[in-house]
Amino acid sequence: MSKLRTAIIGSGQIAQVTHIPNYQSMEHAEIAGICDTNIDTARIAAEKFGIKNYYDSHRTMLEELKPDAVIICVPNKFHCSITLEALELGCHVFCEKPPAITAKEAEKMAAKAKEKGKILSYGFHFRASEHIAFLRSRIAAGKMGTIYHTEVKWHRRRGIPGWGCFTNKEIQGGGPLIDIGAHMLDCALYLLDYPEISYACASSSDRIGKTSGVGLMGAWNPSRFTVEDGIFGYIRFADGTSLDLQTSFAINRREKDVRSVKLFGSKEGAELFPLEIYGEEGGQLVNLAFPFMEMRDWHMDLDVNFVNACLGTEEPLVTAEQGAYIQKLICGLYESAETGKPVIF
């Protein structure tokens, strides 16, 4: 099997902690170059990881190295433009989540990938969980019956990031919904198999983010806090299924961090993470736990899947069309929170 020649665009934390080590550990992938708008940052990362080529222009890097694929690790505002350039130059693209800032951007990205016959995937790594794979197969086999309601949640008690641009709406497009809540939302919708959306409504708060206080993930600047610190939404699908969403960077609750996806079916219910299933058997109510189900590195699993998909040995776990669906729903929730009115799809 040939090797997939890749290039990294953006040399920040997610690139250095996750993608570069992952790709360098794979037999069938290699990193040909790395770039960052700050050439010193790119050089330092290149030296740290033994990457031969580094640049301050992704366009120059792509034109000179002509990689098979790129991994995009830049702020959300630049996902669309860089993805379109890379696809136009003949590269497969793995773009960190969320897909983009707007639904139109995500749709444009998916259309370009289809036009060029290239893979476009996104970093929704929770979806690579073996727990989700098991539950998805159980749903497909009809063991849960009809799923009629879901709940998704990711709360941080006081987890406003004190670094980067996570509190800058212009650069990021939003706060916890587009950052951490998107992961739980993606898991639920993957399990529901992307039903047609009927409407969405939401409310949001920035009361904690715009005041100073104790932070568990560094200090933030309240005067530059332009995103929500929490958003709470409700979605109804055309088939009657409903979904409750709660996500926050900062909320006054007991736990430091709470993340979960709950599904309620006519035969069984289930909760992630970890996986538990609730039903009845032999005239008794039963709870099923899976204490020996492996907890692998889901970032690694998703990176391996992308490499194999580009090499033609697997189907991509996260597709461009699925990313566009998620982005449309995220934007609908933000629109409703801003206008105070439901969004009809």
pLDDT in tens, 84-125: 999 999 999 999 999 999 999 999 999 999 999 999 999 999
Task: For residues 335 and 332, give the distance between their C-alpha atoms in angstroms, rounded to a whole number.
Answer: 5
The pLDDT score that the predictor gives to residue 1 is 58
Can you point out the beta strands (E) in the chain?
Answer: 4-9, 29-35, 53-55, 69-72, 92-95, 120-122, 147-156, 197-205, 230-237, 242-248, 257-265, 269-272, 276-281, 284-289, 343-344
| pLDDT of the residue at 212 | 83
46 CB neighbour count, 10 Å cutoff: 22
Of 151, 233, 232, 236, nearest in space to 196 by CA:
236
Q: In this model, does residue 216 exceed pLDDT 70?
A: yes
Percent of the chain with pLDDT over 70: 100
Q: What is the DSSP code (8-state) at residue 76?
A: G
State the average pLDDT over residues 117-143. Answer: 97
| Average pLDDT value for residue range 71-81 | 98
The confidence score (pLDDT) of residue 38 equals 96
Name which of 33-47, 71-85, 113-127, 207-221 the model is least confident about. Answer: 207-221
- Give the residue range(s) of CATH 3.40.50.720 domains in the chain: 4-124+300-315
Say what angle helices 103-116 and 320-339 make with each other, to 10 degrees. 170
Query: What's the pLDDT at 294?
Result: 78
Average pLDDT, the chain: 97
Q: pLDDT for 272-284, tens place per residue?
A: 999 999 999 999 9
Fold for the domain defined by 4-124+300-315:
Rossmann fold (3.40.50)
Give residue 47's pLDDT: 97
Q: Is the pLDDT of residue 309 over 80?
A: yes
pLDDT at residue 22 tops 90: yes
Find all residues with CB under 8 Å of 290, minimum gap 6, and list them: 131, 134, 274, 275, 276
* Integer-rounded Cα radius of gyration of the chain: 20
Provide the pLDDT confidence category of residue 296 given band limits of 50, 70 and 90: confident
> What is residue 295's predicted lDDT score, i.e. its pLDDT?
78
pLDDT band at 2 (very low <50, low <70, confident <90, very high): confident
Of 2.30.300.10, 3.40.50.1970, 3.30.870.10, 3.30.360.10, which CATH number belongs to 127-296+327-344? 3.30.360.10
Predicted confidence at residue 308, as pLDDT, reads 97
The CATH 3.30.360.10 portion of the chain extends over: 127-296+327-344
Joined together, the tokens standing for residue 10 give 């953006």
CA distance 331 to 124: 17
Cα–chain-centroid distance for residue 250? 20
pTM: 0.96
Classify residue 63 by burial, with Cβ atoms within 10 Å: 0-12, 13-18, 19+: exposed
Of residues 214 and 17, more confidence is placed in: 17
Picking from 49, 10, 36, 87, the residue whose alpha carbon sits closest to that of residue 310 is 87
